[in-house]
Structure 1
Amino acid sequence: MLFYDDVKKLFPVTRGVGLPGIGFLTVSSLPEVRLERGLYIPLDSHRKLFDSINNGAIASLWDGSEEIPLFVPNHFPLFIVEDVHAAYRELIQFYKQKNNQEKWEIMTKFICNSESDLIKTMDEEFLEVLNEKKGGE
């Protein structure tokens, strides 16, 4: 699950009250769909923010060069970014990486005395697969 704290870590400049510990159930650039506890991504138009709030959005990314509408409640967090499209891509990448890490966390961990012990017991094909799965280490 994507949490407010995750998004705040990526985009620390905010406006509005923070929602630490709150998870987003939906993330969407479509303001007309039901956004239950949603994070709205205004890719097409910032003018549709009102619709997204009415449909359940509880926060939004926001282009820092755009004026914030007067109807935005003080308790509605906006994550201020330079480029909403780039920020959305970054958010998706972050979520994919986080999801992969969570999957790895529930897997059985093999702890060896040294890497040479591991190499002695595994065949080369398995080690190649293992190294591919490590990711960004």
Structure 2
Amino acid sequence: MLFYEDVKSIFPHTRGIQLNGVGFHAVSPLYDIRLEKGLYVPLVSHDHLFESINNGAIASLWDGKEEVPRFVPNHFPLFIVKDVQSAFNELIHFYKQKNNQEKWEIMTKFICNSESNLIKSIDAGSLKDQKKQKGGE
């Protein structure tokens, strides 16, 4: 799950309250769908923030060059970015890396000096297994 702290670590310039410990159930540039506990990403236009809030968005990425509408509550978190499209791509990349890292936490890690050493070890292990199978014939 993507948490407020995750997004803030990437985009530290914020406005509104901090939602520490709150996870985003959805991240989307679509304003006209249900975004329960969602992070709205205004890729096309910033004009639909109101609709995204009405549909459950609890925070949004926001282009720093855009004026924040008056209807936005003071406590509504905005992550101020230079370019929303780039920020969205960065957020997707971060989430993929975070997911992989969480999966890797439960996996066995093979640590070698180089990839070629790992390949040699795998090849040598395969050869030993093949010799054992042949010896039983």
Q: Counterpart of 1:3?
A: 3
- Change beyond 3 A, Cα 1:123–1:110: closer
Q: Counterpart of 1:132?
A: none
Aligned counterparts of 2:38 and 2:113: Cα–Cα separation in 1: 44
- Change beyond 3 A, Cα 1:56–1:125: farther
Q: Counterpart of 1:54?
A: 54
Name which one, 1 or 2, has greater alpha-carbon Rg.
2
Offset, 1:106: 1.5
SS of corresponding position for 1:61: strand
Q: Counterpart of 2:33?
A: 33
1:94-114 residue CA offsets vs partner (Å, 9 max, x unmatched): 001111101101223468xx8
Indicate yes or no: 2:29 matched with 1:68: no
SS of corresponding position for 1:36: coil
Aligned counterparts of 1:125 and 1:47: Cα–Cα separation in 2: 61
Q: Counterpart of 2:87?
A: 87
Aligned counterparts of 1:26 and 1:123: Cα–Cα separation in 2: 41
Unaligned runs of 5+ in 1: 127-137
Q: Taking structure 1 as the reference length, what is the TM-score of the superposition?
A: 0.81
Q: Counterpart of 2:128?
A: none
Aligned counterparts of 1:30 and 1:39: Cα–Cα separation in 2: 10
For the aligned residue pairs, the C-alpha RMSD in angstroms reads 2.4
Count matched residues.
123
Q: Counterpart of 2:129?
A: none
Aligned counterparts of 2:124 and 2:62: Cα–Cα separation in 1: 47
Give the aligned residue type for 1:6. Answer: D
Offset, 1:124: 4.0
Give the aligned residue type for 1:101. Answer: Q
Q: Taking structure 2 as the reference length, what is the TM-score of the superposition?
A: 0.81
